[in-house]
């Protein structure tokens, strides 16, 4: 599996095949906050079974670096003056990562499931609907061994939505 982390084409495949099934309805909040997610995918060694990863992404407030007379400009800070706009808007995301283990903590929970990935994904969506949970994203990953790549896809879709507004 270590070689797969070096295979950029394979990682691109995981990224492209990841589906964000459900985005959080509450949207991005301006201050520090936590964005829960549930990721489901087939278990590599037993395709008839699935793996569920539940975690939380810690999201910083928007970071705005604006050119102005009171402080350094973007170009002064990053030694770049021609390509970027005078302001940079960004966010910082962090989440726990664990390899092939059964793990449960406050930040991350990985559990193997008896049902197939599609069936388990349906159960997760039904659970969230019954509990009326609207702040949790749901992600379908083609290979949960590389779930950080799928989480990256989830974050990028949320950022695309946020910065488009």
Whether 30 maps to a domain, the answer reads yes
pLDDT number for residue 83: 53
Whether 65 maps to a domain, the answer reads no
Number of domains in the chain: 1
pLDDT number for residue 92: 54
Tens digit of pLDDT at every position of the chain (165 positions): 556 667 788 889 999 999 999 988 755 555 567 889 999 999 988 889 999 999 988 876 655 555 455 555 555 555 555 554 545 445 555 555 554 445 456 677 888 899 999 999 999 999 999 999 998 999 999 998 888 889 889 988 887 766 565
Interatomic CA distance for residues 165 and 163, integer angstroms: 5
Whether 148 maps to a domain, the answer reads yes
Helices 147-164 and 8-17 meet at what angle, rounded to 10?
60
pLDDT number for residue 159: 74
Whether 138 maps to a domain, the answer reads yes
The CATH number of residue 151's host domain is 3.40.1530
Whether 80 maps to a domain, the answer reads no
Residue 24, domain extent: 2-60+91-164
What's the pTM?
0.70
Whether 67 maps to a domain, the answer reads no
Whether 151 contacts 37, CB under 8 Å: yes
Whether 68 maps to a domain, the answer reads no
pLDDT number for residue 132: 93
Whether 85 contacts 58, CB under 8 Å: no
Whether 115 maps to a domain, the answer reads yes
**Tokens matching residue 46:** 């037993």
Whether 62 contacts 30, CB under 8 Å: yes
């Amino acid at each position: 599996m270590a070689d797969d982390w070096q295979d950029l084409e394979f990682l691109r495949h995981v990224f492209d095949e990841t589906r964000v099934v459900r985005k959080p309805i509450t949207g991005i909040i301006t201050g520090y906050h936590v964005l829960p997610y549930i990721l489901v995918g087939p278990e590599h060694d037993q395709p008839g079974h699935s793996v569920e990863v539940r975690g939380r992404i810690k999201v910083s407030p928007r970071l705005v670096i604006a050119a102005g007379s009171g402080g350094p400009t973007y170009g002064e800070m990053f030694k770049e003056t021609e390509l970027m706009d005078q302001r940079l808007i960004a966010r910082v995301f962090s989440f726990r990562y664990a390899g092939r283990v059964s793990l449960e903590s406050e930040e991350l929970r990985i559990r193997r499931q008896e049902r197939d990935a599609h069936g388990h994904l349906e159960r997760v969506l039904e659970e969230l609907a019954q509990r009326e949970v609207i702040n949790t994203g749901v992600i379908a990953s083609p290979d949960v061994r590389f779930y950080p790549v799928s989480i990256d896809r989830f974050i990028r879709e949320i950022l695309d939505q946020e910065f488009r507004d």
